[in-house]
Amino acid sequence: MTINLFAKQVSGLLSPAPSQAYLEESYAPEMLAAIGTLFGLAMICVLLRVYVRVVMLKVFGVDDWLMMLSAVLSVACFSSFAALTHVGVGHHVEYFTYVRPDHRKRFFEISWWYAWILVAAYSSIKISIACFLLRFADHRRHWQWSLYAMIVILILFTIGSVLSLVLQCLPIQAAWDFNLRPPTGNANCYSTTTFRNTGVFNSVFNLATDLILALSPMPIIWKIQTDLRTKISLCIVMGLGLFTCGVAAYKIPLQFHFFDEKDFLGRGAWYYVWQQTEMNVGIIAACLPTLKPIAASFLGTVSALTSSNRYASRHPTTGPSRPNASNGYIRQAERSGTRSYAMKDLNCSNEGSLNGSAIDKEYLESGVAHTTHIGRVSCAAGSEDSILPAQKGIMRTVEVEVS
């Protein structure tokens, strides 16, 4: 993203003076509503991701920290845009000439901050996604090195892009104080053409990296030893990055012609909306694959409640009832001597031998219900479903999910 820190003054562009209704017209409410909606959804996804990683899985990786950084930068971008609407963005360009000429300098100063913060946000999202994909790259050396190379390239690109925006004028203050530029000053700044071409190059680079990060996981996901439905759902979720690519592709022509738009505060300002749409959709797409434990827990609870209600309607009981186990993982019959079923994870060692879970207390009394454990055996060589009859008794199991 680049903001044109314009080489021309706005004063005196149009005469005679437009009508009062035209000067008061503003697109700012619509822009804030569009950006705010996606911004809110993105922040919800980030908070849910933090909940899953910290509370449910108790693991917080580098990719999660980078996504937290992306969220902070997204907050900064949204706040900067809200500040821009207070100094003229959304109004027509004549607003600076006939209504608030004193807001012009403040507009360019906020735009200077907004430009490089947005670039940093884009890159932090991509680096977070690359670090997340490293989780799937075990035992795939070529894939690991490709992701590491992508991360290094993104870091170098970000440093170069941020510096090009920060140092677009020397002294830096000339980026928003036009009095420091010729003819009244001697500051050196990029030309409009240089600024435009640099920005378009950055956008094309971002589009290319978006495509790579969205499509490259597909072959690896397809090789995961799981059912077809899970593979398809994972590919769809990871493929949400393609929507980000679509937004980026739509934004590039707008950026190329941005400096040709005389009404850069009004009609041209919708470019800001597409910038933040690309950023927030990227955050959402990066967070959704990490929210599967919440979806699984919710669906399991719904399934348990539905099954329990169906069972109760068919087999009414008298007297006080005892609740079934929660989370949809355990359904246990009420009467002694019957057979029940429980979900359990069964892990294997590297050699493939079955490792049983520890039983804290065991009561082997006659008349206690038989229990069958239904679970998934996870080994180094793969995984398989299993149904194992358990001994008579009551067993307390502790589920540990490792990410």
Instruction: Please provide the DSSP assignment of 73-135 as one string.
Output: HHHHHHHHHHHHHHTTBTB-TTHHHHT-GGGHHHHHHHHHHHHHHHHHHHHHHHHHHHHHHGG
d(Cα 325, Cα 311) in Å, to the nearest integer?
14
Residue 131 lies in a domain: yes
Q: Are 55 and 296 in contact (CB under 8 A)?
A: no
| Single-letter amino acid, residue 24 | E
Q: Are residues 338 and 290 in the same domain?
A: no
Over residues 53-98, the pLDDT tens digits come to 999 999 999 999 999 999 999 999 999 999 999 999 999 999 998 8
Domains of the chain: total: 2
| Of the residues 248, 268, 294, the one at which a domain ends | 294
Q: Are residues 181 and 226 in the same domain?
A: yes
Q: Are residues 112 and 194 in the same domain?
A: yes
Residue 318 lies in a domain: no
| Of the residues 267, 294, 321, the one at which a domain ends | 294
Q: What local confidence, expressed as pLDDT, does residue 107 receive?
A: 94
Q: Are residues 38 and 136 in the same domain?
A: yes
Q: Are residues 333 and 290 in the same domain?
A: no
Find the distance separating the first CA and the last CA of the chain, reported in whole Å.
Answer: 35
d(Cα 290, Cα 255) in Å, to the nearest integer?
33
CA 217 from centroid of its chain's CA atoms: 16
What are 384's two structure tokens?
A: 């398989």
Q: Are 349 and 355 in contact (CB under 8 A)?
A: yes
Q: Are strands 370-379 and 339-348 parallel, antiparallel or unpaired?
A: parallel
Q: What local confidence, expressed as pLDDT, does residue 399 receive?
A: 53
Q: What local confidence, expressed as pLDDT, does residue 241 receive?
A: 81
Residue 359 φ then ψ, to 5°: -105, 120
Residue 356 lies in a domain: yes
Q: Are residues 275 and 371 in the same domain?
A: no
Q: Compute and round to an integer the Cα radius of gyration of the chain.
A: 29
Over residues 99-153, the pLDDT tens digits come to 999 999 999 999 999 999 999 999 999 999 999 988 877 777 888 899 999 999 9
Residues in the chain: 403
What are 105's two structure tokens?
A: 């300098």
Q: Are residues 347 and 269 in the same domain?
A: no
Residue 13 lies in a domain: no
Q: Are residues 399 and 274 in the same domain?
A: no
Residue 275 lies in a domain: yes
Of 166, 170, 11, the C-alpha closest to 97 is 11
Give the three-class secondary structure for 10: coil
394 forms bridges with which residues in the sheet? 363
pTM value is: 0.70
- The CATH number of the domain holding residue 234 is 1.20.1070
Tell me which residue range forms the domain holding 32.
20-294
d(Cα 268, Cα 251) in Å, to the nearest integer?
12
Q: Are residues 35 and 173 in the same domain?
A: yes
| Of the residues 294, 313, 344, the one at which a domain ends | 294
Q: Are residues 207 and 353 in the same domain?
A: no
Residue 44 lies in a domain: yes
**Cβ-based burial of 345 (10 A; exposed 0-12, middle 13-18, buried ≥19):** middle
CA 110 from centroid of its chain's CA atoms: 25
> What angle, rounded to 10 degrees, do the helices at 28-51 and 62-86 form?
160
Give the Å distances, CA to CA, from 245 to 15, 44, 115, 208: 41, 22, 20, 8
d(Cα 6, Cα 14) in Å, to the nearest integer?
17
Low-confidence spans in the chain with pLDDT less than 50: 1-14, 302-304, 308, 311-312, 317-393
Q: Are residues 203 and 68 in the same domain?
A: yes
d(Cα 149, Cα 130) in Å, to the nearest integer?
10
Residue 264 φ then ψ, to 5°: -70, -20
Residue 263 lies in a domain: yes
Q: What local confidence, expressed as pLDDT, does residue 188 receive?
A: 93
Residue 12 lies in a domain: no
Q: Are residues 169 and 287 in the same domain?
A: yes
